[in-house]
Structure 1
């Protein structure tokens, strides 16, 4: 499935931020896409995202999968730093998420085929 545009995926009437994010996660989006969608549709501040997305494991693991596909030669330390920067989380928390990704392996997401074909 190709990439969708977050501005073209509005929340349903009465849908909360959490339910909207859950719906986007369910259909296969990664965390950065979901952040953009929440910021666009709900005017959520960036500072709210790091804690909010701790509850969205699949979205976060998909983002790490995307980073690994974009930069396949990146070492673990560099990946941890990139995850920390991208998601606005501590290096320690990023290390835990990268370790979790190492346990789970690649998690597919919308747009993965587009990245693989590059």
Structure 2
């Protein structure tokens, strides 16, 4: 994961929210933002950040990645996978998948895809 583009650690002058927002703006998906934030020792409630909601770019990018990894997964399967992988409610996952279906795929940093899928 050290080869991710634009990776710059949380600076002393930056809040965790600012860091998450910066990562979202450069194309990180929600799972990757969560992992990057958790690398820092500050105890935080990730779900309290606006960045993690059903219509955020970061969440839509993550749904895009899940859908690309499992393109035959039906709507309900996509909802269950999203809910389980980032520990959100089925309702939040349903909202995100519906939003994804509405706006379409968003580009993301392919940190999970194999070399042949990139």
Q: Which TM bucket (shorter chain)? A: 0.7 to 0.9
| Deviations 1:58-87 (CA, angstroms, capped at 9, x unpaired) | 000000000001111100010000111112
Dislocated runs of 4+, deviation >3 Å: 42-45, 114-117
Given that 2:54 and 2:92 are in contact with CA atoms closer than 8 Å, whether structure 1 keeps it comes out as: no
> How far, CA to CA, are the matches of 1:93 and 1:44 in structure 2?
23
Q: Which runs of 5+ in 1 are unaligned?
A: none
| Deviations 1:12-52 (CA, angstroms, capped at 9, x unpaired) | 2310011000100111100111001100024445xx23343
Secondary structure of residue in 2 paired with 1:106: coil
> How far, CA to CA, are the matches of 1:39 and 1:65 in structure 2?
22
* 1:87 maps onto 2:55 in alignment: no
Q: Which runs of 5+ in 2 are unaligned?
A: none
> Higher relative contact order by CA 8 Å / sep ≥ 6: 1 or 2?
1
Given that 1:30 and 1:58 are in contact with CA atoms closer than 8 Å, whether structure 2 keeps it comes out as: yes
Count of aligned residue pairs for this structure pair = 112
